[in-house]
Structure 1
């Protein structure tokens, strides 16, 4: 618990919160702006607004945003003699990797919370939509957060291995492109097995875009959640094993 507490303390002076605030709000602003400029009405109310904000956000910006957060979370360890201090730690590699992943999970949750709040504010204030955001999109939001976990774990591992801040982010961009191709061209199993594709799959849930059937059923929720948990466990275990074998220097 000490490692996790230390990581959360680092967040107080981190630029991560700036990313958490700006990225989803930019997605909301883009969706709202496109709707206003195009002059197209929100034909299906909240559903249309959700699609215009979340669909593109889940294809590229979200994965890249998680990658930026992972680079920020590991940046301190690559400065000065901090890496040598990390290698001389008394805690296990699994504890360190799990703590970093836990921090990224909290940040991913915050990202989605800001997005949902932004969509609600835009729907009520800008478009005057009646009622409230349908509860199924709150469930979808929870699925999106869980689907972010394997990407967070993988990007954390890459940021652990690479001193460069930008290199892991570039990998995430390539991964996001591969994820989009998997969603468009491949079978569901391909996008489900690819962390970046899984994020895209989760953000399309209930929209009817790509291979999604437009429903939020128990099976549609269970598959990405189960896949995300398995992938996260595998990546965290692998990253911990690699960290245990890393040398000082």
Structure 2
């Protein structure tokens, strides 16, 4: 049943220029990486690591969270505008199934964005003529790690998008949580515990960090996993009580 609901959600998204939304963040990041004049002064450093540093900062802190919020708003737009919530109520599906299907689709779309971003990294380095082998394992680590770190954002943004009809209100909530992450990453005390800063930490390349991810597994489980469960439970509980 969940698979059928996801297909139905995807069919609705295709009419909202979703393809353009998926590539806009990575493309803007590519432009930043290509035009950044500081890249010419990084010859003494590993070229790929320097590129990651310049491109991950705007992408992981701004573009990825904001685009995730836009997708969450769009995926609920049809129900708010065309009485779709009442149509769902006539079908033999539970509200939990509806919520989970939307959540899974957003997560899959964010994974696609992450994969496009990995390709963008490769294109930027190739155009700049890097003579060092492309670090596939490193890129794969921050693609998957950054994706997993977006789960709390996805859960909260979906809750906001389903709760408020106004696109502006739901998007403003996303911005309110996104902007403090710029300050949080500079705080050793609060940064590791701020959910919106986790994508940046998960994509911050550190060659000294061994294992599957660039952040400790304990931080991933406690902060990302814990906040995701809290937002997920609150979102489902609120949606079950929603008058449609």
**Superposition TM-score, scaled by structure 2 size:** 0.87
In the other structure, the counterpart of 1:176 is 178
Question: For the residues of structure 2 that align with 1:140 and 1:47, how far apart are their CA atoms?
Answer: 12
In the other structure, the counterpart of 1:210 is none
Tell whether the 8 Å contact from 2:60 to 2:199 is kept in structure 1 after alignment.
yes
Match of 2:67 among 65, 71, 80: 65
Once the two structures are TM-superposed, the CA of residue 149 in structure 1 deviates from its matched residue by 1.2
Match of 2:158 among 156, 159, 173: 156
Q: Segments of 4+ in structure 1 off by > 4 A?
A: none
In the other structure, the counterpart of 1:92 is 94
Question: For the residues of structure 2 that align with 1:180 and 1:153, how far apart are their CA atoms?
Answer: 21
Once the two structures are TM-superposed, the CA of residue 103 in structure 1 deviates from its matched residue by 0.7
How many equivalent residue pairs?
238
Which stretch has the larger CA shift, 233-242 or 65-74?
A: 233-242
CA RMSD in angstroms comes to 2.2
Tell whether the 8 Å contact from 1:69 to 1:104 is kept in structure 2 after alignment.
yes
In the other structure, the counterpart of 1:233 is 229
Q: 1:80-159, aligned counterparts within 5 Å?
A: 80-159=82-161
Partner secondary structure for residue 197 of structure 1: helix
Once the two structures are TM-superposed, the CA of residue 229 in structure 1 deviates from its matched residue by 2.9
Tell whether the 8 Å contact from 2:185 to 2:192 is kept in structure 1 after alignment.
no
Are positions 1:216 and 2:216 aligned together? no
Deviations 1:199-225 (A, max 9, x none): 23223252xxxxxxx633338241343
Q: Which runs of 5+ in 2 are unaligned?
A: none
Tell whether the 8 Å contact from 1:31 to 1:49 is kept in structure 2 after alignment.
yes
Tell whether the 8 Å contact from 2:151 to 2:228 is kept in structure 1 after alignment.
yes
Deviations 1:88-130 (A, max 9, x none): 4432222111111101111111111111101101111233333
Partner secondary structure for residue 152 of structure 2: helix
